Structures are given as C-alpha cells and as structure tokens.
C-alpha cells in the first residue's frame, strides 16, 4: 500500500496509529516494523525499527545484492538483520521519497531471497509513506546509485496496487500558508504565493533562538561558526584522525575540525542505536578529551544525558570493493543551523529559512512546511 499526501497531512501520525492498533490487536506485535529513510524520521514515527538501512542491513548501500545476501546468510554480525527480516510480516517505510530505486530493489532482493523466492519482498506486506514532491534520493556515484526515485522501479509498480492520498493538512491551518507550501512544492509560483512568501521576510516575534534551515552544508557551517564565536565561554577544538584518500573525505558529513562550547546546540551524525540516531539534536553539557556529553532533551530517550565517544566514519567505493578513506571523530556537528535535508519529516517551533542556494526539487517546500504557521517562519 502507498500512502501519499503533502507535507503536514499526518502521514507519520497515521503510521504511529497503524502500529499502535497493530500492537493492540496482535500479540505478535513485533510482526510490524516501522522504519524510515532517515534516522531522525525513524525516531519521529517511533516504533523502534530504526532506518530501513539499519533494519535490513543494507547500511549505506555499499555492497552488491549478492555480497549482502552472502553476509546475511553467513556472517554472525548480520544475524540481527536476518532475524529482522524473518520476524516481519508488515514493513512500514516513512519518507519514501528519499529511498532510491537501487536501495528499494536491494531491500526487496534480500527479503525475497531470505524468505520466499516466489514472492515480491518474500511475502512481507509493505506500506510506503511519503510525498514525492519532497526531497528526492541523494545520488552516490561511488556506490553506483544514480538517485532515481523508487517509483521508477518495475517492482514498485508490481507491488503496490493500492494508493491512498491524505488531503487535509494538519500541521498548519492558515489557508494561504498551506496553499503556498503546496504551490512551492510543485514548483509553481502564482502571484498570491509570491506575495505571501515575500511577506515572511521580516523579523520573527521575540522568543527562543530559531533554528536556521539552509540548503547546503557549506551555508550551515558558515552560520554555525559565526554563532559559536558569538557564544560566551571557552572553545574546545577536536581534530579528526584521517586515513586514506583525503579528497574523498570531503564527502563525509563529520567535520575535520570540530569546535564546541558548553551549551552549544549539536546534531548527531551517526545512528548509534535505534534511539540515538543521525539527525538528533541536543545541547553540549560537558566536554573532555575522550567524551562529549550531550543532553538530548525533548526526545523520547529515557536517559537524555548521553556520553558520546569518537566514532569511525568510512568512505567505501563499490567500484573498488573497499574502504578508500576513513575519519575518526566525535559524530557531532554544530546545530544552530541544519540542512533542509536533515529537517524533512520534522515539525519545528520556529525556523528561519535561508532560501538563497536551493538546489534540489522540493527543497524550499520542505523547509517552509516544517513550522505550524507563518508567524513562526521567516
Ligand atoms: N489526525 C491527527 N490529529 C491530530 N493531530 C495530527 C493528526 N495528524 C497529524 N497531526 C499533527 O500534525 C503535525 C504534522 O503531522 P505529520 O508529521 O504526521 O505530517 P506528515 O504528513 O508526516 O508531514 P511531513 O510530510 O512533513 O513529514 C504533527 O504535529 C501531528 O501531531
């Protein structure tokens, strides 16, 4: 089944309700697995399934279908993913617009080969949820992924016979704002929408420091550096330990030089477990050479103060079938500003959108669609 609908129509809310009702009515509640295409979106929908990448073992898509299947069948490390696949009757994937055709087909391939070769997805019921007018998949040449939408896959057409479209916007209730988000998401700019967007170019009412949404990592980094300089207190610098092909390390999200101050907002850059996921935001509460403690308040975590240690990030070339570069660093970056890609699926209290360098289809619509109304969007 495919569930579509523009931003804020309650798609993620519906997923939570489906999972809740499944749990109520079915003793084998683990049979339903709620996943998403990004870490933060997976936390947003709850359910503990994590990302579709971490649920299935496809990870960052570095392995070929055959290599991955071999690992699933033979490696102890992959036992957990095989168990996930074998124990799932219904798989839900939120923010489907960001799943590429290549990765969609890879998940299908491993499910089919592990469960039942005669059935698509090995017979697992699949519910995909999202809005194809939002952000598309990110292409990755090194992993031979062109970033084509998953609906282009012939398997997508074969599998999904039922399509539901949610039409009532629940996040915002101002008609002109909802219309503007819808127009912009579809790449249209009629005069009334143009005027409405122009009218947002003014100061926000007094309140908490709003998060800034930028199109490119570079713009976030510039803004974050300036905000850190403005903060009071001593600055700590952590230099990454790099190995391998240096030019390829620019692809990694984790900074070579990480600058932090007590009290600064940060974002997690790696899925550490099903709750501590890529995209989670918190505030630094203590710093030592070995650990950075972050308070992930406003999350569903039972313990919100978490000690973060350095992690290894690798760049893998599917062409060469090997890791070609690595970086050891705290999996954190400053988060006064985050990219629009990281914000997809979130509802934010206040936001400033930097629309100067928008480059992907759907990017501006996603950004302004994060808040509940015009009053809190600049
Ligand atoms: N049926 C509902 N009743 C009450 N509140 C709802 C309902 N559906 C959604 N909401 C609220 O509206 C907001 C947006 O919902 P949600 O995040 O599920 O939308 P979405 O379609 O997934 O958005 P996006 O495409 O931006 O990810 C949330 O704050 C959610 O709690």
pTM for the full predicted model: 0.88
Measuring from atom 23 of ligand 1, which residue has the nearest CA? 8
pLDDT band at 29 (very low <50, low <70, confident <90, very high): low
Among 44, 46, 129, 170, say which to mutate for ligand 1: greatest number of ligand atoms within 8 Å of CB: 170
Residues having CB closer than 6 A to ligand 1 are 5, 7-13, 131, 170-171, 345, 347, 369
pLDDT band at 261 (very low <50, low <70, confident <90, very high): very high
User: 288-310 burial, b for 16+ CB within 10 Å, e for fewer?
Assistant: eeeebbbbbeebebeeeebebeb
> Per-residue pLDDT averaged across 190-201, rounded?
95
Closest of 248, 267, 240, 237 to residue 327, by C-alpha: 240
Q: How far is the CA of 85 from the centre of ligand 1 (A)?
A: 28
Q: How far is the CA of 170 from the centre of ligand 1 (A)?
A: 6
The lowest-confidence range among 111-125, 252-266, 289-303, 338-352 is 289-303
Helix (H) or strand (E) holding 230: helix 217-230
Q: How far is the CA of 107 from the centre of ligand 1 (A)?
A: 27
Among 9, 171, 213, 368, say which to mutate for ligand 1: greatest number of ligand atoms within 8 Å of CB: 171
Q: How far is the CA of 347 from the centre of ligand 1 (A)?
A: 8
> Per-residue pLDDT averaged across 144-150, rounded?
95
69-78: pLDDT as tens digits: 999 999 999 9
> Cβ distance 324 to 245 under 8 Å?
yes
For residue 188, how many other CB atoms are within 10 A of its CB?
Answer: 10
Measuring from atom 28 of ligand 1, which residue has the nearest CA? 171
Q: How far is the CA of 168 from the centre of ligand 1 (A)?
A: 10
Coil, strand or helix: which one is 56?
helix
288-344: pLDDT as tens digits: 999 999 999 877 777 889 999 999 999 988 888 889 999 999 999 999 999 999 998
Asked if the ipTM is above 0.95, the reply is yes
């Amino acid at each position: 089944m495919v569930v579509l609908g523009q931003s804020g129509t309650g798609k993620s809310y519906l997923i939570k309700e489906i999972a809740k009702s499944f749990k109520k009515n079915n003793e084998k509640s683990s049979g339903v697995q709620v996943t998403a295409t990004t870490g933060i979106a997976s936390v947003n929908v709850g359910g503990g399934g994590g990302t579709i990448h971490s649920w299935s073992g496809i990870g960052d898509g570095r392995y070929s279908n055959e290599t991955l299947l071999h690992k699933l069948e033979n490696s102890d490390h992959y036992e957990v993913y095989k168990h996930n696949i074998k124990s799932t009757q219904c798989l839900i994937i939120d923010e489907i617009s960001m799943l590429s055709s290549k990765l969609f087909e890879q998940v299908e391939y491993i499910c089919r080969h592990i469960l039942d070769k005669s059935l698509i997805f090995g017979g697992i019921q699949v519910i995909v949820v999202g809005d194809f007018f939002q952000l598309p998949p990110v292409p990755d040449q090194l992993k031979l992924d062109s970033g084509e939408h998953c609906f282009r896959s012939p398997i997508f057409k074969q599998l999904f016979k039922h399509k539901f479209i949610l039409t009532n916007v629940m996040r915002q209730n101002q008609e002109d704002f909802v219309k503007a988000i819808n127009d912009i998401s579809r790449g249209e700019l009629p005069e009334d929408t143009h005027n409405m967007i122009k009218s947002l170019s003014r100061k926000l009412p007094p309140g908490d420091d709003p998060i800034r949404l930028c199109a490119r990592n570079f713009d976030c980094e510039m803004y974050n550096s300036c905000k850190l300089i403005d903060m009071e207190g001593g600055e700590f610098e952590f230099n990454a330990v790099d190995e391998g092909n240096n030019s390829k390390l620019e692809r990694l999200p984790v900074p070579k030089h990480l600058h932090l101050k007590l009290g600064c907002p940060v974002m997690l850059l790696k899925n550490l477990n099903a709750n501590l996921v890529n995209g989670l935001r918190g505030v630094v509460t203590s710093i030592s050479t070995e650990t950075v403690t972050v308070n992930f308040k406003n999350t569903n975590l039972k313990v919100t103060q978490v000690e973060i240690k350095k992690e290894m990030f690798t760049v893998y070339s599917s062409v060469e079938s090997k890791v070609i570069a690595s970086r050891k660093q705290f999996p954190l970056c400053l988060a006064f500003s985050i990219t629009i890609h990281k914000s997809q699926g979130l509802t934010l209290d206040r936001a400033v959108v930097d629309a100067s360098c928008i480059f992907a289809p759907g990017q501006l619509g996603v950004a302004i669609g994060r808040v509940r109304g015009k009053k809190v969007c600049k």
